Structure 1
Amino acid sequence: MTAAVLAGVMIAASGASAFAGDADSQPGGENAKPRVILMHDPELDDQNTLVRYLMYSNEFDTEGLVYSSSGVHWAGDGKGTLWHVAGREYTRFGLNICPCTSWRWKPGERFIDDAVDIYAQVYPNLRKHAGGYPSPKELQSKIYTGNIEFDGDISKDSPGSDLIRKSLLDNRPGPVYLLTGAGQSTIARALKSIKDEYENTPQWAQISTKVSQKAIIQSFGDQDGTYAGYIGKNWPGIEFRQMSTSIWGYGARNAVLPQDAKYLSAEWTKANVSDVGPFGAYYRVWGDGKQMVPGDIFDHFGFSGLTTEQLKAMGYVVWTPPQAKGSWISEGDTSIFMNLIDNGLRGYVDAGYGGWGGRKGSDTDPNGVPSGNYAASRWFGTAQQDFAARLQWTVAARYSEANHEPTAKVAGQVDRTVSRGQTVTLTGLTGDPDRDQVTSSWWQYADADTYPGTVTINQVPGGQQQHVVKVRVPDDAAPGQTIHLILQVTDNGSPALTSYQRVVLTVSG
């Protein structure tokens, strides 16, 4: 089946819709924001991911920005204690470096603090373009140190693990998203502390159920083995969402769609990222002359004009080939939060729904081949355009000086129970706060469906800012199967921005 069945007609509309209010009117309101604890180690791609996260920080209830360790970054205890884990990078590539007292961690590391300091510079502009951005003082108060001393060590509490423990035990409803682009030792320590305190008490059954239902881990892999070694074994009821995808990482050039390759180029990156304000200058690109840790033999990205052979002769481990100066390097961990952004795709509802961060499952690519990469790469160009617009917000002192997302809404419920043979009418309501012209389409996200076939989407005449379609539920749809239909709206601003609204039809019994 095709990955998307497009409605035949694109509608153009101009003028502001009824949904285009002031910047403080955010979909869902303050109380609907997902509770987030974000964890990173000092890898350059984590730094870049953090820049993007802060651009979207109005979308989240940020409870913590936590320094964390991983198999490739740990700080040591400052006491000269030697550490070694078999199979790590310091034992590969013909190396035999550790046991050592720390690994790829700069003394006094403060990349999270630095990013929040830059946020403070651009905050006055950001809040002109959207409501809900946390104050710099608030974000600064949310910076914690997790279990950073040793790779995979969960032997003692840390301020970061204490924060996670407190959040999981409080009585606020809804999930706590534990987002990690590093290892999971800080999470594991929090869970171990909870279990150690309550396991042999009458409250244990209630506490373990509460925590298991509340915690959702969204991680780029298991970067220190603590999920496999502790969390999965001792807390099997906690949902773990594997968010690793090539499109946001060092392998993006092998995953990007041909039409989106420009978003990795030096030309696009310079114009839309590197040259745009203090965050653009902070964002790591090829050949920028920087290193996260001076002398790090695995960080050759700051050099330009040198071949692989020349870099190796200088003592560097060249594990990915050099690229043009100024071009994209990586945002490897960005996928951990992209499905929580309120863009209408509702990727947070279920790991199989999918969104800008990809999804659990394969999507059928344009060549008809099932691909886990395509589940994320299909959205990459749109996400990059949106990021470019938000960076423009940081330097635009007036709302009128930048572009903003169009509106995509659906009249009625976005989750509907339907019967076989029923014809469902869907009314899409579109507009744009900048009075840009918009085009809209309805399409079936067949890869996310549990119904295995396709449906016909029939256009119905509507108003200037309405896109009405009728969809007949197939007679062969089984009870419980789902059909995902997406309203997609794109403006003609610069850069062009896209919003969505997903409707899920569930076949009744």
Structure 2
Amino acid sequence: MKITILFFALLMAFNTALTAQADRHRIIVLTDIENEPDDAQSLVRFLLYSNQWDTEGIIATTSCWMRDRTAAWRIYEILDAYEKVQPNLLKHESGYPEAGKLRAVVREGIPKFGMEGVGPGRDSDGSDWIISVIDQDDDRPIWVLAWGGVNTLAQALWKLSHTRPEREVEEIVSRLRVYAISDQDDSGPWIRRNYPGLFYIVSPGFHENNETAYHYATWIGISGERWYNFPSGADTSLVRNTWVRNNIQNKGPLGAEYPLIEFAMEGDTPSFLGLIDNGLNYPERPDYGGWGGRYELYTPPYKKWFHEPETRPIWTNTYDMVKVDGTTYLSAQATIWRWRTHFQNDFLARMNWTIMGYDEANHPPVPKLNHPNEITVRSNEVVTLDATPTTDPDGDNLTYNWYLYFEPGSYLLFTDYQSNRNHQLDIANSDSPVARFTAPRVDRPSDMHIILEVTDDGDPQLTRYQRVIVNILPE
């Protein structure tokens, strides 16, 4: 009973209004940069979207791959390159922070591994900085993106628990959001066990000592099919070194800081892909799915690659079913790779912004609806979907695609699977700004998620979305 109550309490606590999703996110990055090239790759992409959020910390940390040193110097190198292109980025969108503002929030965690760096006498500039960010007069949630180990966050929480009243710590924890790229030290499980109210997205487990946690993780869907041997219907050419050389490294000072791929490309990037304001992402609802993957809230059963059994619900792996060229794929990784062409084209376009004028570059379309993003209808009612106010800043031609994203909704749980085995909804004029469908028969209230993709014909082609949540009532 306690677990059930906790599950619904967590779900309700994080179910914010859809209209609130456009708020700028507060972000702290924990990175074991220089362990391998992918952290530097992710930081380059992260900076290209830095006008969409408030970066309040970039903290160099350890991990299972780099246990006794940190490398803040590499962060500064990349920020030096960003400084050279920031004025050009501002020609395309406002809000890109000055490099000096970002340098001012760079810190280092303790150069110790995991729980060796947590406890009395283990404070660091990084852990103290996290506390100072928490203590700011700002009620917005703080997203902690864990690209490496999380003992810097663990130490901050340990210190708060030993210096603040319990109720204050609980309130602080309620404002934190963690997206961890698996468990790269043993402090992540410690955090989850000791702070059960903490919003935590993770595919649990470690990858060292011949264990293979990464093979089962969601985040490897960004690029890892060749390295981790999972089936994928995505375009693998978009995550190979030839693409990097031809599209990223040759694009000015910031592109020059983007290293070639050694293992999987940008394994840490899913932690912020879901924070990008693209009309699809709803960060407070990982179960809705988006560029950063889709996760559901439950207590996963113990696996041999876990540091310890999970003791409470976390946001963790779930499956999407995606059909590509006649082949159906069902996997956790599909929740990310299904969007690969879109987010890679978006990355390329923003890299172009670092060197091109506004008229030379492409910019994303702006889908708009003539109705709310959430509507309520009854079974057999004809529903009109209207995106006629949609525009494109460059005057490009636009294509439309309305479709059912069936996994986030409850509708298919209450229907005959055999008669809906393709998980399709008959949407008339699905390739037009105005589309229609008949609400299916339901025996109890349920909901479905209709996605609108709008893609321009620029170079590269860019896609933005609207999500319509349709609540269906019985007749």
Normalised by the length of structure 1, the TM-score is 0.73
Instruction: Look at both structures and tell me which one has the larger radius of gyration over its CA atoms.
Output: 1
Structure 2 equivalent of residue 233 of structure 1: 193
- Alpha carbons of 1:66 and 1:500: their partners in 2 closer, same or farther (altered >3 Å)? same
Q: Point out which structure has higher relative CO (alpha carbons under 8 A, 6+ apart).
A: 1
Mapping of residues 312-331 of structure 1, within 5 Å: 329-331=264-266
- Counterparts of residues 80-479 of structure 1 (less than 5 Å): 109-152=72-115, 153-155=117-119, 156-198=122-164, 201=165, 204-205=166-167, 207-228=168-189, 230-242=190-202, 244-251=218-225, 254-255=229-230, 257-258=232-233, 260-286=235-261, 301=262, 329-360=264-295, 361-366=318-323, 367-396=327-356, 398-428=357-387, 429-452=389-412, 454-459=424-429, 467-476=433-442, 478-479=444-445
The unaligned stretches of length 5 or more in structure 1 are: 1-27, 77-104, 287-300, 302-319, 321-328
What's the offset of the Cα at 1:496?
Answer: 0.8
Instruction: Please give the root-mean-square deviation of Cα atoms over the aligned residues, in Å.
Output: 2.5
1:170 CA displacement: 4.1
Please tell me whether the aligned partners of residues 179 and 219 of structure 1 are also in contact (alpha carbons under 8 angstroms): yes
Q: Which residue number in structure 2 is paired with residue 80 of structure 1?
A: none
List per-residue Cα deviations over 1:310-356 (Å, max 9, x = no partner).
xxxxxxxxxx6xxxxxxxx5211000000000011023131111111
Match of 1:38 in 2: 29
The aligned residue for residue 309 of structure 1 is none
Q: Which residue of 1 aligns with 2:65?
A: 72
Partner of 1:491: 456
| Aligned positions, number | 400
Could you tell me how far apart the structure 2 residues matched to 1:460 and 1:332 are? Answer: 34
Name the amino acid aligned to 1:141. Answer: A
Moved more, 438-447 or 412-421: 412-421
Tell me the alpha carbon deviations over residues 476-507 of structure 1, each in whole angstroms, 9 at most, x when there is no partner.
Answer: 1632x321111101111111111111111234
| Contact residue 455 and residue 473 of structure 1 kept, 8 A | no
Structure 1 residue 148 displacement after superposition = 3.3
- For residues 284 and 381 of structure 1, do their structure 2 counterparts lie closer, same or farther at Cα, with a shift above 3 Å needed? same
d(CA) in 2 for partners of 1:352, 1:30? 15
Amino acid at match of 2:358: Y
Report if the CA contact (8 A) 1:252-1:330 is conserved: no
- The alignment partner of 1:476 has SS state of coil
Question: How far apart, CA to CA, are the structure 1 residues paired with 2:231 and 2:92?
Answer: 30
Deviations 1:404-424 (A, max 9, x none): 111112123213344444433
**d(CA) in 2 for partners of 1:467 and 1:477?**
31
Q: Distance in 1 between matches of 2:443 and 2:372?
A: 21
Q: Is the 8 A contact 1:255 1:374 kept in 2?
A: no
Cα 1:251–1:151, aligned 2, differ >3 Å: closer, same or farther? farther
Change in Cα spacing, 1:420 to 1:341, as seen in structure 2 (3 Å) is same
Aligned to 1:50: 43
Unmatched 5+ stretches in structure 2: 1-18, 204-217, 296-317, 416-423
Tell me how far apart the structure 1 counterparts of residues 25 and 157 of structure 2 sit (CA, whole Å): 20
1:366-408 residue CA offsets vs partner (Å, 9 max, x unmatched): 2334211111111111111110111110111x21011111111
- Preserved contact between residue 234 and residue 337 of structure 2 (Cα < 8 Å): no
Q: Distance in 2 between matches of 1:30 and 1:427?
A: 21
